[in-house]
Amino acid sequence: MLRRDILKQLGYGSLILSGLLKPLSALAKWNQAAFDATDYDSAINRYFPDQQIIESDLITINVHPVIENGAVVPVKIKTDLAEPESITIFVDKNPTPLIANFDLFPGCLGVVSTRIKMEKPSDIIAVVKSNNKLYITKTFVEVHEGGCG
């Protein structure tokens, strides 16, 4: 009975340890300078330095055009670009414009659905990396009560 208990505890310990190490590996790609940027131009240039971004109509941002409360804004971004590698979301007028980056595994559909905060009326910008190129689209959203303050 004692041996079984020890093996069970070792199993739990390795599970906990792997759970602690995984977030550390995710931080390795953290771009603190881009997340600290206080304006959109700085944020996008720090996140995608020296890279050309092409406008695309193969990216859609599904969001209600008028939001009563900017604290919870449901957003769905979909792309029909071949082999999407990542989807990055910015909000132009937010205090920190870089909202999130989603890395996609090969073979994944190019769809991300999340909730974001918006301080005031602004563009939501989606940047999709596909075939080592960057594509962008944006949509304007009217916000009546800000959610970032």
Cβ(144)–Cβ(67) below 8 Å = yes
Both 58 and 131 in one domain: the answer is yes
Q: What is the pLDDT of residue 32?
A: 87
133-145 vs 53-55, strand pairing mode: parallel
Per-residue CA distances from 36 to 7, 9, 16, 44 (Å): 45, 41, 31, 11
**Percent share of the chain, pLDDT over 70:** 78
CB 135, CB 56: distance < 8 Å = yes
56 with 31: CB under 8 angstroms? no
CATH number at residue 53: 2.60.40.2470
Shared-domain flag, residues 122 and 56: yes
Domain count, the chain: 2
Query: Which pLDDT does position 35 carry in this prediction?
Result: 87
How far apart, in Å, are the Cα atoms of 33 and each of 43, 46, 87, 98, 136?
A: 8, 7, 19, 10, 21
Domain that holds residue 20: 1-30
| Same domain? 67 vs 104 | yes
Residue 83 and residue 35 in one domain = yes
Q: Which pLDDT does position 24 carry in this prediction?
A: 47
CA distance 43 to 134: 15
Ranges under pLDDT 50 in the chain: 7, 15-17, 20-22, 24-25
Do 26 and 37 lie in one domain? The reply is no
Q: Within 13 Å, how many C-alpha atoms sit on residue 16's CB side? A: 6
Q: What is the pLDDT of residue 7?
A: 44
